[in-house]
Each structure stands twice: as C-alpha cells, then as structure tokens.
Chains A and B, each alone.
Chain A
Amino acid sequence: MKSNKKINITKVSRRSFLKTTGLATGGLLLQGFYLPLGEDNSVAQITLNAFVKIGKDNQVTLVSHQAEMGQGIRTTLPAILADELDADWTKVNIERGLTDPAFQNPKFNFQFTGNAESVRAFHDVLRMTAATAREMLKEAAALEWKVSVDKLSTNNSYIFLKGTNKKAPYGDFVERANTLKPPKNPPLKKPSEWKLVGNKSLPRVDIPDKVTGRAEFGIDVERPGMVYAVIEMCPYFGGKIKEIRENNVRNMPGFIDLVRMPVANPVVAYRPGFPKKEGVVVVAKSYWQARKALDSITIIYDSGPNRKMDSDSLYGIYEKKMSGSEWFETLNEGSSETILNASKNTHEAQYYSAWQSHATMEPMNATAEVRGNKVEVWAPTQGQEMAEILISQEFGFAKENITINRTYLGGGFGRRLLADYIYQAVFVAQKIQKPVKLLWSREDDMQHDFYRPGVMQSIKASLNKEGYPTALDLKLISPSVIQAATAIAYVFEGEDFSIIEGAKETPYHFPNYRMRTHLLRIPPPASVWRTTGYGPNVFAVECFIDELASKKKIDPITYRKKLVVEKRSKTVLDVVAKASNWYGPKKKGHYHGVAITHSFESFVAQVVEISIDSYGILDIHQITTAIDCGTVLDVGISKASIESGIVWGLTAALTSEINFKDGRTAESNFNDYTILAMAEFNPKIETVFVNSGEKIGGIAESGPICTAPALCNAIFAATGERFRNLPLKKHGIYTRYYSEFLPISQKPIKKFTAL
C-alpha cells in the first residue's frame, strides 16, 4: 500500500485538544481516503483505494484496518464497505491493514483501535470510498457497453444492464475504472437500502476460526529460525536491579542469551512521575526453556523510594489532595460557589473506584525480526501507529522500514494501545539478530500493567425546595490515563481529556456547575481501560443523582427525566423503564436501580434488578439496557457487546481490585485478581436499541458504564444504604457464588438490619 500515492485528499477538522496533545504536527492535517493503483500496473489485483481491492478475477478484498479484539469490527467495517459497494458478502476476502495514514482516525489523526471509535469514526469514510469505487466501476461498464450510467445497476459484485439479461462481474471493469477520475460526490445508499448493516445481524467472520483453534493470535506467531524470550522486570515502582546472580543460567538447556534492558517501559519512562523500569531478558530455544532459565537466575532488587507505598498510603494521598487546595478548574459555569455557600439545603458525598487491571486473557507478547535497517513486528496491538512511532524514536528505524503486522488480540480493553511489549521484542531482536517471540507470564502481565487508576470524586449540591440541584461542585482526583497513550512527549497539566469524561459533560444541565480536577502524580503507571473516564465518573455522578432523588423520595427515573437535557436521554429512560417493568409490580424482595450516561456519542440507560439478604449476599436477576447509538449497524454484535460489557462492569463493581503492598502490585494472578465467573452470572439480559437515526455512537465501551451505579442504586433501594467505594466486596457484599469461597474469617456478617 505504501507504493500507492494519494490522489485525493480531504481536510480534517481538528479538535482543539490535539494542539496540546502533541499528536498533531504543525500545518494542514491531511487524510487520504482514496488511494488508486500505484505505478506498477502489472499486478493483477488492482487497488482501488486503501480499503477496497478488486481483482480481475472479481475477487473483492476489503481491508479491515481496525484491530479485532472481540468487538466484531472485522465483520462490521467490511460489511459497511460491501454494503455500499454491492459486493457479494459471501465471497469477499477480508485482509488486515498495516500502518498507513489512510487508516488514521480522522478525529485524532492517529491510527489506533479503541475508545469505541471504529464504527463512529469510519462509517462515513468507508461508505464514501465504497461508493466511489462502485460508481467508477459503473462508469467503466457504461463506457465498455456504450450505454449511459443510469441504465446500470449493481448487485453481488456484478453490474447489470437494466431491463436485459446482460451482466458482467466487477473484475471485468477494474482496469478501465482505474483510468477514470473518481467522482466527487458519489451517491450514497439510503439506510433503507442497506442490505448488510442497519438493524441486522451478520455472523461474525472471525468466529469459525475461533472455534477451531485456527485464529492466529500474537502468541501463535512463528517465524523461521525464531527463538523465545522471557523477561523479568523490576516489580518495585521506582526500584532498581541491585544485583543479578546468573547462577547456572548459561548452562541451562536451550539457553541462548541473557540481555539486560535498562528501560523496559519506554512509553512512560521519560515522563515525570513515572519511574523507568529495568528488565532482564533470557533468550532460549523454546519458551519453556527460556522460562526455566530465567527462573534459575537470582535477581536482587533495591526496592527504591516507594518501598513503603501500599493501597492505604496511596488512598491517603487521594484523601489529602481532596481536602487540599491544589486544583485545576475544569469548568466553572454560573456562580456555583456563591450559591453553595449560601444554601442551607446541601448534600455532599465522596466516591472512589479502585485500581483495576486489564487482565487480557492473552498475556502481553510480540514477535520481532530485524533485518539490516528494517524491522518487522507481529503483535496483538490496538496501537499500530504508536508502536511505529516508539520503534522509530527508540531505535532510529525510518518509518518506511517498520512493518507492524497485527494479529488477532486475545483481549485489548485499552492495554494493547501501548507498545511497551513490542519495544521489548524489538530490543531483543536487534540485540541478538534473530527473530524472537517475547512472551510475558500472567504474573508479569498483572504486575506490569498500566492500570485503570483509582479515581476519587467529591460532589456537593445545593437543592431547591423541590429537591432539584441549584448548584453543583465536583472535585475529581485521578492520575492521567491518557498520558501513557500519547505518542510524543507532552505532559498533561491539571487535567487530561479522558479523566474528565462523564463528569465535565453529563446528560444533565446544571446551570451553576463548578468542576475541579487534581491530576495526581504517583508511581503506579496508569492508562486507559474499557470505559475510560466514564466508568468511575458516571459511577459517582449517577449514584449522587440517585441520592438527591431519594432525599425527597422522588422516583429515580422521574427525577432524572426532569434533569436531562436531550430528548434522546429521556427516550432511553422511557424505554428502559418499560423494558425493565420499572413502574410495574415487583417480585417480592426484588429491587431496581437505574443509571444513565451519554458517552462515546451514545445514550445509554440501564436498570439492574437485584435481591439482597441481610448478610449482603446478592442475587442479580435482570439487567435491562436501552441504548441509542444513532443507528445500530449490527444488532447481534452490538447485543453481544452490551452483554459482555455488563460482565466487565459487574466485575469491577463487585470483586476485582488491584492493591499495592511494599511498593509493588499485590495481586499476581486470577486467584487474587478475581474476575466474575460464569457460575455467578446468570441474570436475564434485555437489550433494546433505540434507532434515532442520529450520528452513530460507540457501543463497545457503553455496556459497562452504567452497571456499577445502577447496581449500587438498586442496593440502596433494597437496604437504604449507600456504598460509594468500589468494589463492593470491600463492604462485605458478595454474589451468592463468591460468598461460598470466602475464608471463614471473612464470612458475611449480618449487616442490613432493615431487611
């Protein structure tokens, strides 16, 4: 693709924050979306543009440039293309895109997969390019058949002459089409004409290979002559390697080399507040030999200046900062301070969401091969361009000499935006001049994650006589989560655009609203995590709104409906109320809780129905979601995404938590970083899509956002008690299943006398 030159370029609107993130270079930002064939005309397959290739044999190849990590994007994006192109879906090839400016998200001018961006960022571009290709093929056919274009129609990769039996495959016209000028404004299909997407369900193209074991993940990559590397990184934040006792490692079976890595986490090592991490790598003929050899080494650490840091001391910092005076004013509309000071009727609450690990099922890994001045990487990555930038920056490879091949991802959730593990593989490959696969253990993965940090909010509101807020003050404390994912050295000050999501802008209008942020600089590295800032912030805001409603005993949905600004918010509230039977008679002992969000350009309302006993043992009966993402493109895939998002949200709400002890991460594997098990998840799941026809919004991260607040609000409805500190296991609230496996010393105690 790199040999192709761009001939059609569009101007990209620039978001203001890009000027400050360092992602953008000066001057005009250009985005190519139409890349015709290169100089070399001899190839049989003709590239019509970056996303669509049509061979003379009528083989249509669609390029899926976004990483498939379970969200179904390898199906939905090509389906948009095929739909507009009128290609035969059953015969298309789907190919993975490499790194290319054409694949940059136009909003960020950056190629990555995440932030529930794939469909909302690319839908229009894909339709436009497919329509361009289709119209050019028709034009070529019109010339060939000497008829006017409007006499032609297209279907299943064929062109038809209307009113006759004449038809011919697209492949017959590709050569001629390539000589034509692309039309400026090709007609787009109306949603009612869509065949593959739009309130329909396609079987996912990646699933057959995922049930036979054929799907290739990063861990499965093999290269001729490949060797295996494992790494041990200093587990202490800010610690150092004091001594390496090699012992007998050089005589261990299969041993090839031992490589010291002065900086194993370059994505954050050069930023203030983040200590660099040293690593020791052992290379061997097989993974297992490498692992055994590494185990035979004794590494003595200097646990460094943070050796006394633990969860409690860290939490203490949050609390101290919360009562302190160092704030960045994120927002100050109206006269919140004056009104709050004057009001006698106020309500105040503080919330905390714990640190979380991504814990992708596939541990971090990458395969790299260095040949002369070229480097090739195979990796399960969400951040292809990030990897390219990092490799070029750290090793001096020219960008055109860097190839990043993306495999399937065994989970992404934001972790794989970063390229630390790719950097490590390239480092080793360059050092030993052999293709190498570097693979972390689960323990490495949990210890060396870039966590969703702990986030604390304190919210205060003054209320009018009717119980509705007249002014609001929200204070937010969080480390930066987007810092690690910014590719060029830029240091966020005061706030970053991700941590304020869901707090700065809510579905509500508060005429007097002040929000202050304290960007914490603490040792554990943080980054984005499925739900980004919305997760913790919507938890705080939606619990708080519920508290306000309950003060005057106003129905939580009625209360919210009065406060929300947009009609779409009201609609999802109405829809979820109906689908969850909110106003109908409830089963004995069953209670509802609701939460709403406007996130990733989608509107979501969720109701959780539970029962809970006096010991805090929880049964979750039903979770109902109403979502307006504009137009749902694939109902099946989107439903699956919401279902799985609920599990993600419940895991963080109920049980999972990263703790720190003695200056390092305390959890090491799935026995202590507990994620929801199938046995404790069997509620009825109802998901209703509201197709408003508005701009397409994100789905993949929308499922989990409302789950924690809706659950906590349901627990309040049942018990009259508020729980503002997640996960709920800290309060002795467990699923029935989980409670079975607790040590006797932690057995649930009677805590709800009201029940």
Chain B
Amino acid sequence: MNLFFKKTASVKNPKWQRPVLLAAICLVLLLSMVRCKSNNNNNGYVSIDKKSVKEESLRHFEEITKVLQHPRCINCHPNDNYPRQGDDMHKHLFNVQRGPDDRGITGMKCTSCHQASNNLISGVPGAPQPNDSLASRWHLAPLSMGWIGLDDAELGARLLDKKQNGNMSPKDLVEHMTDDPLVLWAWDPGPGREPIPIPHDEFVEILEKWLETGAEVPKKNKD
C-alpha cells in the first residue's frame, strides 16, 4: 500500500462533504481577509498575492502530509499505545506498547531491540541520537503527536499546537523534520521497507517553502 500516491483528502471526504468543504474554505478565506484587514489596516481587502501565498502554503502542506502520513513516519505516531509495523500499519507484533515515557515498557523497551542503526542482519531498524552515534533514538512520538486516523486539517492543527507538539514553533518543526536522525531514518529504512518516495532534500525544500509562505495548515471543515 502506498499512501503517498493516494489523494488522502478525496478518499477521506465522501462526495456529499465536498460542497461543505468548499464553503468552509471560502469562509476561512473570508475570515482571514477580515483578520488581515484589522491587522494590516490596508483598506479592507487582501491582496491577490497574499491569498495565493496562503494557497501555496496549503499546497506545500498537502505535500508534507503525504510524507507525514507515510507508514515510515506515522507508524511511530500512533493515536493509541501501540506502535505500528509494515506498510499495512498493523500493530507492532509481540505486544509492543508505548509505556510511560514513549519508550516502551520495562522488558520491552524500544531499545531492547532497536539500536542506533539499521541492523542489516536481523532486519531490526534503528537510528542514532543526534549527538551520539552509538546511542539509540528509537521511540514513539508522544500521544499528543499521534496522527493515525487524522485528516489533514486535524493533523495540521495538532502539528502546530504548541501545547501538543512540545512547544515547537513551525521553524522548530521544520528543523525536526530536517535534522532529526529518527525522521531521517524514514528515507533510509533498511532493506525490505519502502522509504519515503520523495527525496529528503526535496522534502526539506517543500518544508522551507511552507515555512516561508506562512506555514499554513487547512482548517477543519466545520470551522
């Protein structure tokens, strides 16, 4: 299963929702114009530029979510206490669980099996700490950063919410996705696992553009 090539939005939203979605987008745009007006005090309208910048940002975010929703990323961003495995995203075999610190349960810590590099012999994947190539960084994203089952808007909201994302600014987020060895692992997951299908530098480019264009995320339909 290749989630990357799947139009997540159209799959997740049944047809009857589309008009609602359109209406919601219009409303969002309208609201943002109002806000722009009050903020910028520029005669009551927003420039075409600004609108298109925002659209561009959203387009970038759509690309970004395709990566975030990829099994290599989302398998360790579950919305419950079970890490996932494989492209079919089944719960991690042998009852592996989150544990109190997102690092597993006594006896079954992530690092009981996952070390600082992919184990080419046993096939167990691994990734190092940023500043210690011999120490394993393998762990789950916190529950507040659980994404499985979220649509793009929900994911976006959660991603930007500092209360949930570990007090990260959009810039911090981009840095995490650019430099964190555990994130980078998704591009080098070892034999037998499909890596993220777009090159990491292209992804970084998209991230940066997203940041430059205001790090916009889509709003929930009913907003």
Of the 9-residue stretches A387-395, A576-584, A618-626, A740-748, which lies at the interface with chain B?
A: A740-748
Residues of A within 8 A of B93 (CB): 671, 741
B82 at the binding interface (Cβ < 8 Å): yes
**Contact at A743–B86, with CB atoms within 8 Å?**
yes
* 713-755 of chain A: CB within 8 A of chain B: 737, 740-745
Residues of B within 8 A of A745 (CB): 88
Q: How many residues of A contact B (CB 8 A)?
A: 12
Question: What's the least CB distance linking A656 to chain B, in Å?
Answer: 14
Alpha-carbon separation in the docked complex, A744 to B3 (Å): 14
**Contact at B86–A677, with CB atoms within 8 Å?**
no
With A742-B91, A743-B88 known, 6 other A-B pairs at CB within 8 A are: A291-B121, A295-B121, A677-B95, A740-B95, A741-B93, A744-B89
Alpha-carbon separation in the docked complex, A743 to B89 (Å): 6
B94 at the binding interface (Cβ < 8 Å): yes
Q: Which 5 A-B pairs have the closest CB atoms?
A: A743-B88, A743-B90, A741-B91, A679-B95, A740-B91
Nearest chain B residue, comparing its CB with the CB of A747? B90
Nearest chain A residue, comparing its CB with the CB of B86? A743
With contact pairs A677-B95, A679-B95 given, residues A740 and B89 touching in the complex (Cβ less than 8 Å): no
Chain B 52-78, CB within 8 Å of chain A: the 1/0 string?
A: 000000000000000000000000000
Residues of B within 8 A of A741 (CB): 90-93, 95
Alpha-carbon separation in the docked complex, A740 to B121 (Å): 28
Question: What's the least CB distance linking B83 to chain A, in Å?
Answer: 11
Residues of A within 8 A of B92 (CB): 741
* 101-132 of chain B: CB within 8 A of chain A: 121
**Contact at A677–B94, with CB atoms within 8 Å?**
yes
Alpha-carbon separation in the docked complex, A606 to B21 (Å): 60
Alpha-carbon separation in the docked complex, A743 to B1 (Å): 12
Alpha-carbon separation in the docked complex, A291 to B94 (Å): 26
**Contact at A744–B95, with CB atoms within 8 Å?**
no
* 173-204 of chain B: CB within 8 A of chain A: none
Residues of A within 8 A of B88 (CB): 743-745
Question: What's the least CB distance linking B57 to chain A, in Å?
Answer: 32
10 intermolecular pairs with C-beta atoms under 8 Å apart: A295-B121, A671-B93, A677-B94, A740-B91, A740-B95, A741-B90, A742-B90, A742-B91, A743-B88, A743-B89
Nearest chain A residue, comparing its CB with the CB of B96? A741
Question: What's the least CB distance linking B199 to chain A, in Å?
Answer: 28
For chain B, give the interface size range.
10 to 19
Hey, which bits of chain A sit against chain B, CB under 8 A? Answer: 291, 295, 671, 677, 679, 737, 740-745
- Which of A295, A737, A740 meets B82, CB within 8 Å? A740
Residues of B within 8 A of A740 (CB): 82, 91, 95
Alpha-carbon separation in the docked complex, A601 to B43 (Å): 98
Alpha-carbon separation in the docked complex, A743 to B95 (Å): 14
Alpha-carbon separation in the docked complex, A742 to B82 (Å): 12
**Contact at A744–B94, with CB atoms within 8 Å?**
no
Question: What's the least CB distance linking A239 to chain B, in Å?
Answer: 23
Question: What's the least CB distance linking A728 to chain B, in Å?
Answer: 19
Alpha-carbon separation in the docked complex, A737 to B82 (Å): 13
Question: What's the least CB distance linking B26 to chain A, in Å?
Answer: 34
Question: What's the least CB distance linking A654 to chain B, in Å?
Answer: 16
Question: What's the least CB distance linking B141 to chain A, in Å?
Answer: 20
Alpha-carbon separation in the docked complex, A513 to B95 (Å): 48
Residue of A291, A741, A744 with highest tally of chain B CB at under 10 A: A741
Alpha-carbon separation in the docked complex, A742 to B88 (Å): 9
Residues of A within 8 A of B86 (CB): 743
Alpha-carbon separation in the docked complex, A743 to B88 (Å): 6
Alpha-carbon separation in the docked complex, A671 to B85 (Å): 12
Nearest chain A residue, comparing its CB with the CB of B88? A743
Residue of A291, A679, A743 with highest tally of chain B CB at under 10 A: A743
Alpha-carbon separation in the docked complex, A745 to B90 (Å): 9
Nearest chain A residue, comparing its CB with the CB of B87? A743
Residues of B within 8 A of A671 (CB): 93
Residue of B86, B90, B92 with highest tally of chain A CB at under 10 A: B90
Alpha-carbon separation in the docked complex, A295 to B91 (Å): 31
Alpha-carbon separation in the docked complex, A741 to B94 (Å): 8
Residues of B within 8 A of A295 (CB): 121
Alpha-carbon separation in the docked complex, A744 to B84 (Å): 11
Question: What's the least CB distance linking B6 to chain A, in Å?
Answer: 14
Alpha-carbon separation in the docked complex, A744 to B71 (Å): 13
Alpha-carbon separation in the docked complex, A295 to B95 (Å): 31
Chain B 26-51, CB within 8 Å of chain A: the 1/0 string?
A: 00000000000000000000000000
Nearest chain B residue, comparing its CB with the CB of A679? B95
Question: What's the least CB distance linking A732 to chain B, in Å?
Answer: 15
Residues of B within 8 A of A742 (CB): 90-91
Alpha-carbon separation in the docked complex, A739 to B8 (Å): 26
Question: What's the least CB distance linking B136 to chain A, in Å?
Answer: 21
Alpha-carbon separation in the docked complex, A671 to B86 (Å): 12
**Contact at B95–A737, with CB atoms within 8 Å?**
yes
Alpha-carbon separation in the docked complex, A168 to B96 (Å): 62
Residues of B within 8 A of A744 (CB): 88-90
Residues of A within 8 A of B94 (CB): 677
Alpha-carbon separation in the docked complex, A679 to B97 (Å): 13
Alpha-carbon separation in the docked complex, A421 to B122 (Å): 23
Question: What's the least CB distance linking A293 to chain B, in Å?
Answer: 13
Alpha-carbon separation in the docked complex, A740 to B95 (Å): 9
Residues of A within 8 A of B89 (CB): 743-744
Alpha-carbon separation in the docked complex, A677 to B94 (Å): 8
Residues of B within 8 A of A677 (CB): 94-95
Residues of B within 8 A of A679 (CB): 95
Alpha-carbon separation in the docked complex, A291 to B121 (Å): 10
Question: What's the least CB distance linking B193 to chain A, in Å?
Answer: 14
Question: What's the least CB distance linking B197 to chain A, in Å?
Answer: 21
Question: What's the least CB distance linking A298 to chain B, in Å?
Answer: 15
Residues of A within 8 A of B95 (CB): 677, 679, 737, 740-741
Alpha-carbon separation in the docked complex, A395 to B203 (Å): 63
Alpha-carbon separation in the docked complex, A740 to B92 (Å): 9
Alpha-carbon separation in the docked complex, A744 to B93 (Å): 14
Alpha-carbon separation in the docked complex, A622 to B133 (Å): 50
Residues of A within 8 A of B82 (CB): 740
Alpha-carbon separation in the docked complex, A648 to B128 (Å): 40
Nearest chain B residue, comparing its CB with the CB of A743? B88
Question: What's the least CB distance linking A81 to chain B, in Å?
Answer: 42
Question: What's the least CB distance linking A619 to chain B, in Å?
Answer: 17
Question: What's the least CB distance linking A538 to chain B, in Å?
Answer: 31
Residues of A within 8 A of B90 (CB): 741-744
